[in-house]
Structure 1
Amino acid sequence: MRSVVLIPARFSSSRYLGKPLVKLLGKSMIVWVAELSEKAVGRENVYVATEDERIADVVKEAGFQTVMTSSDALTGTDRLAEAATQIDADIFINVQGDEPLVDPKDILKIRDAKINDISSIINGFSWLSEDEDPHSVNIPKVIMNETNELVYMSRAALPGYKDPKNAPVKYKKQVSIYAFTKEDLSAFREFGRKSELEKSEDIEILRFLELGKKIKMIETKPGSLAVDIPSDVSKVENALRNNPQ
């Protein structure tokens, strides 16, 4: 089975225009992510899916492959689904282009979980650190059952509680590494719209719940940081300076 990493990278991000090209310690963020993905699956199995030639030029200059997609993809996963039609592979690992601290070992962990449970969608999670706010809308919180299947994911601080003594001691957050088959991605795209929950929460994996797909959550290394807004750049750069990878 051939496994590839497919990185969605959109220039026209509503919260941060040109985000994939932001410089982190002098290197474009999308190149950081591609290089870490290369450590997991090899350079020949890393692709960047983008609608913008500026991103494609930077990626190709760094020696990586690109797949051009349309500019009107509803979500990053829709962009991946479009790109996947142009790639001959069995497993598509989605690594977000704004996660320059992703651990290559976690990419492989997600891939192996998909190989062992091919019918499920695979997604990563970790525990929030003490300096992360569970009430931040920029952090999707994960609700799982006792067999690590996703029940729900929300930008609200979940699980909730009625009695303060039952308040959660700590929270789980989504880590944006996923594994799909081409069929998974095709079904997602063919849904044709954002589901009501997906639209409200702005969390695209929720669409798979509407499709009746089981989503298996796999624990990954804590400490993942994403660049969601410009103020995240400095803290991500500090983390990169101390990153042992």
Structure 2
Amino acid sequence: MKRLIVIPSRLNSTRLREKPLCLIKGKPLIRWVVEGCLRTGGDVLLATDNERIAEAVRDLPVKVVFTPSDLPSGTDRVAYALRDIEADFVINYQGDEPFVYKEDVERLFLALEDFPVATLAIQDPEAYQSPACVKVVLDKDHTALYFSRSPIPYMREPSELYPLKHVGIYAFRREILMEFVKWEPSTLEKLESLEQLRLLERGVKIKVLLSSNYYHGVDTEEDIKLVEEKLISYLSHTAPSSRD
């Protein structure tokens, strides 16, 4: 099976101006993401709508595909980039997620042998009440029952498992990805503004892998400060996985 990591990245963002090019410890955010994905040892493709984003990683061994700026989501950007590229298993690695762990990438690809879609979640009690953080609840086999911006499940008593914060990194079998972008946005997807609900409403199983690693996407100036504080321990963790 041909595996590929695709990083969707567009220049304009609603909360942080030109987010992919924002400097984190002197390096553009998109470069942190690309370098992290390259350290997993797999093939990496950048799907972007802007030459400046491509220029930020020009010296790295990553394929670049230019996509239209008006595509509605990162998932649509990934699918567009794959039109003429061979890949059976694809990871949509968000262009604002600077933390990349080889072991989690491997687990996501492995999950696709049994499930059409896979994603990650972490235990994070601080995210429970925040609508900016997506929560997920699972069935007994750890496939997703529901994702929500609301605090789910209702915690009448402490739990060893919940609450779980969803990490927006997705692994797809190619065929389900290409079908997904053809479907109209679903009712719950529009209510919650969460595209993964389109899959659940269609009856597609999403395997949720629990990770003990640190993840934090960048959407605000405050996120940049937080991410910079975590980078030292992160780089120490990932250094042994560097490409030869």
Superposed pair shares fold, TM > 0.5: yes
Q: Is the 8 A contact 2:127 2:165 kept in 1?
A: no
Query: What SS class does the counterpart of residue 86 from structure 2 fall into?
Result: coil
Does the alignment pair 1:198 with 2:189? yes
Query: Paired residue for 1:29?
Result: 29
Query: Paired residue for 2:108?
Result: 110
Q: CA deviation at 1:216?
A: 0.8
Q: Is the 8 A contact 2:4 2:91 kept in 1?
A: yes
Report Cα offsets for 1:37-61 as digits up to 9, x if no partner. 112133xx10111111211221224
Number of corresponding residues: 235
Identity of aligned residues (%): 36
* Structure 1: stretches of 5+ with no match in the other structure: none
Query: Paired residue for 2:99?
Result: 101
Query: Paired residue for 1:10?
Result: 10
Q: CA deviation at 1:180?
A: 0.8
Query: Paired residue for 1:189?
Result: 181
Report Cα offsets for 1:34-86 as digits up to 9, x if no partner. 111112133xx101111112112212243422111111211111111111113
Report Cα offsets for 1:86-134 as digits up to 9, x if no partner. 32111111111111112121111111111x21x4211111111x5x231
Alignment partners' CA distance in 1, 2:215 and 2:152: 19
Opposite residue 237 of structure 1, the aligned amino acid is: E
Aligned-CA RMSD value: 1.7
Q: Is the 8 A contact 1:7 1:96 kept in 2?
A: yes
Report Cα offsets for 1:118-151 as digits up to 9, x if no partner. x4211111111x5x23111121001111110101
Moved over 6 A (4+): none
TM value normalised by structure 2: 0.90
Q: CA deviation at 1:222?
A: 3.4
TM value normalised by structure 1: 0.90
Does the alignment pair 1:217 with 2:211? no
Alignment partners' CA distance in 2, 1:160 and 1:124: 21
